[in-house]
Structure 1
Amino acid sequence: MKGSMEIKKILNDLINCNITIDEAETLLKIHQIEKIERKIKIDINRELRTGIPEVVYARNKDFEDIILTLKEIVEKNGIGFATKLKHRDILKLKEEKNDIIDTAKEEFSMILI
């Protein structure tokens, strides 16, 4: 996981007195949120901090934004999740046979894994 390696480097630099506590704090905050395009923000290191991975809340997002966000999360973390998918978006995903995204959906859950 790329993000965890960057965090380990920051912590090692802190331990070895290569950076100050304030610098380490700033660097760690930078690694919390990433922007995709102009309007999409993802918390790539959420799982490292909380034990729960970043999840895309898809209800009010365009299909293209959902795909873009999930691809970025999958690239960084190896897996991506989306909740509250619209039925038409689930159908589009199944039609596309996307090479990165597999759908696993319970009839009422509207969850993409």
Structure 2
Amino acid sequence: MGNEQLDQILNEVKNGSVSIEEAKKQIRAFDDMGFAKVDSTREKRTGFPEVIYGEGKTAEQIIRIIQSLKGSTNRVLATRIDQMKALQVMESVNDLVYSETARTLFWKHEDEPDVLYNGYIAVVCAGTSDLPVAEEAALTAEAFGASVKRIYDVGVAGIHRLFHNLEDIENATVTIAVAGMEGALASVVGGLVSNPVVAVPTSIGYGANFQGLSALLSMLNACSPGISVVNIDNGFGAGYYATLIHKNIHLGAEKI
């Protein structure tokens, strides 16, 4: 924290607009709950607020973290939330939107616009079985202010379906390619478009798929340039990275 920010906080305490406890939180830069230290200044450092990973956390812990984050950001995203846990959280926190497919909870301040940047991210999915990962990627991108075009069930087994949607993929700023089985979709897309491709291997596939390992290795070994690869089933990581690229393209265009 710089001296200017510190001076502002101290002046706000002096004039009574900020309580001592709130000033402590701002100076400390995280909210210490004992079970979690919520990073209240991450958005200022990285451009995006902290995201809650729901697996392993109780509903009560998630509720408290969401309530803390709502005090420091206009957008709150929680991932890997099962339906039962989501219902418990939504009983205590208003205005949350739950996606059963993506297993995400999202809150946005009523004054916050849906879309913050021009253009869109294309989320391309090989098969319907890959939808949970593809939707996690798409909803993560939307949670951070990007517009998304979903292009689903266009795997290489019926590659004509991909060509039918090629113009929409070509015009995206970034493409997320989600595929299981042998993971060939990312390499095919990478050889057809000029925008960056973020490849997401999924654990969908028969025995020799090894819970996504074969798709991961195929994507890492892709001969098409311009492809980066995230971990197996990591739709969140793909959505975050794609939005980071998308945002910086938008900000760079503004400076020209």
TM-score, normalization by structure 2? 0.31
1:97-108 to structure 2, matched below 5 A, reads 98-99=93-94, 101-105=95-99, 107-108=100-101
Preserved CA contact (<8 Å) 2:60 2:89: no
TM superposition shift of 1:63: 0.5
> What is the CA deviation profile of residues 25-59 of structure 1, one whole-angstrom value per residue up to 9, with x for unaligned ones?
xxxxx5333212x1111111111100111111111
Preserved CA contact (<8 Å) 1:103 1:112: yes
Q: Which runs of 5+ in 2 are unaligned?
A: 9-26, 107-256
SS in 2 for 1:47: helix
Distance in 2 of aligned mates of 1:46 and 1:11: 20
After TM superposition, which residue ranges in structure 1, 4 or more long, deviate above 3 angstroms?
A: none
Q: Which runs of 5+ in 1 are unaligned?
A: 13-29
CA change 1:43–1:97 in 2 (3 A) is: closer
1:48 equivalenced with 2:41 (yes/no): no
Higher relative contact order (CA 8 A, sep 6+): 1
What number of residue pairs does the alignment pair up?
A: 91
SS in 1 for 2:57: coil
Preserved CA contact (<8 Å) 2:54 2:62: yes
- Greater fraction of residues in strand: 2
Q: Percent identity?
A: 25
Max Rg structure: 2
1:26-45 to structure 2, matched below 5 A, reads 31-36=28-33, 38-45=34-41
CA change 1:86–1:32 in 2 (3 A) is: same
Query: 1:61 maps to what in 2?
Result: 57
CA change 1:68–1:7 in 2 (3 A) is: farther
**Aligned residues: CA RMSD:** 3.2
Distance in 1 of aligned mates of 2:82 and 2:3: 36
Distance in 1 of aligned mates of 2:62 and 2:55: 10
SS in 2 for 1:65: helix
1:83 equivalenced with 2:76 (yes/no): no
TM-score, normalization by structure 1? 0.63
CA change 1:67–1:39 in 2 (3 A) is: same
